[in-house]
Homo-oligomer: A and B are copies of this chain.
Amino acid sequence: MRLAILGYGNLGKGIEAAVAQNPDMELVGVFTRRDPQTVKTANAKVYHVDTLLGMQDQIDVLMLCGGSATDLPKQTPEYAKYFNVVDSFDTHARIPEHFSAVDASAKSGKHIAMISVGWDPGMFSLNRLYANAILPDGKDYTFWGKGVSQGHSDAIRRVEGVQDGKQYTIPVESALEAVRNGENPDLTTRQKHTRECFVVPKEGADLAKIEKEIKEMPNYFSDYDTTVHFITQEELDRDHAGIPHGGFVFRSGKTGLHGENNHVIEYRLKLDSNPEFTASVLVAYARAAFRMQQEGQSGARTVFDVPPAYLSAMSGEEMRAHLL
């Protein structure tokens, strides 16, 4: 299987590393809107995006590594005409319209377009689906973290007097325990997560004002218990350079003629690198996309539509013997 990458940010870099871990795959190259000379990859060849359509016969699956805000709503429908594609579109509320646009385009081009792949949406969604199908009488809980939220870190950096900053989303341990114990609690936003901010102030900035502005910021911080730590740029660069993330999906549900027995299903991710893990999920789904198209299927697909076996390089016999 021959993969190509469109867009070489953190996700694109993760795809390059993930392809190297899968012996049945090779990387054709990275395609970029920038001057190819300025893009430094680990090993991959770099091409300008204008050459992409001319290389259709050399690429089995195109990995779309742009952002959900403006890149993917355009790119996925556009390229699904010409390639099998995988994207990580993660604006949950707009998935239905994205699916429709991509589906029409992928069908017209007789390709498979795997959308909203990753861990949330992605593996978390899958776990919600399985657990809901098994325990119809139950309650779902999703917690995120401990991990870096890009959106909240950006929000901090927009505050006046802030030079740099990073925000961690942290699930509340007592809430996790209550869910895990089958207590089926009703939890407010504040009871589920706390937010911890590491902020580098500009010289002479009013720290109290920065802290107040962060803690009271609507949507981002005002509904949470937020902690603000002021540190130096050196400390931020040294101690907070990683992009860890993760979280928990729970379903707690009843069975029995009178709902007398409770069950808790828990799925947890603990990720050193959010983009590298996301990339690894995308690469597994690229395998599935290619197989499904080779079978004659076309259109948009999500993780819900893919038989798990299609993700693995193993044969059915091997899987049944070693994993079942």
List A residues at the B interface (Cβ < 8 Å).
Answer: 14, 16-18, 20-22, 42, 92, 95-96, 99, 116, 121, 123, 125-130, 132-137, 180, 182, 255-257, 261-273, 276-277, 279-281, 284, 287, 302-309, 311-313, 316-317, 319-321, 323-324
Q: Are A134 and B280 in contact (CB under 8 A)?
A: yes
Nearest CB on B from A178, distance (A): 13
A17-B255, A268-B268, A269-B265 known; A304-B324 Cβ under 8 A: yes
- In this complex, what residue of B is CB-closest to A264? B270
Residues of B within 8 A of A272 (CB): 182, 255, 261-263
Q: Cβ of A129 and Cβ of B317 under 8 Å apart?
A: no
Question: Which partner residue on chain B sits nearest A140 by CB separation?
Answer: B323
Nearest residue (CB) in B for A312 is: B133
Q: Which B residues touch A129, using CB under 8 A?
A: 308-309, 311-312, 319, 323
For the complex formed by this chain, how many copies does it contain in all? Answer: 2
Closest to A93 in B: B321
Whether the Cβ atoms of A308 and B312 lie closer than 8 Å is: no
Residues of B within 8 A of A324 (CB): 92, 95, 116, 121, 125, 302-304
Residue picked from A126, A134, A321, most chain B C-beta under 10 Å = A134
Choice from B99, B264, B284, B287 contacting A320 with Cβ under 8 Å: B99
Known contacts A21-B136, A125-B323, A324-B125; is-contact A308 B317 (Cβ 8 Å): no
Q: In the complex the two chains form, what is the Cα distance from A255 to B273 in whole Å? A: 8
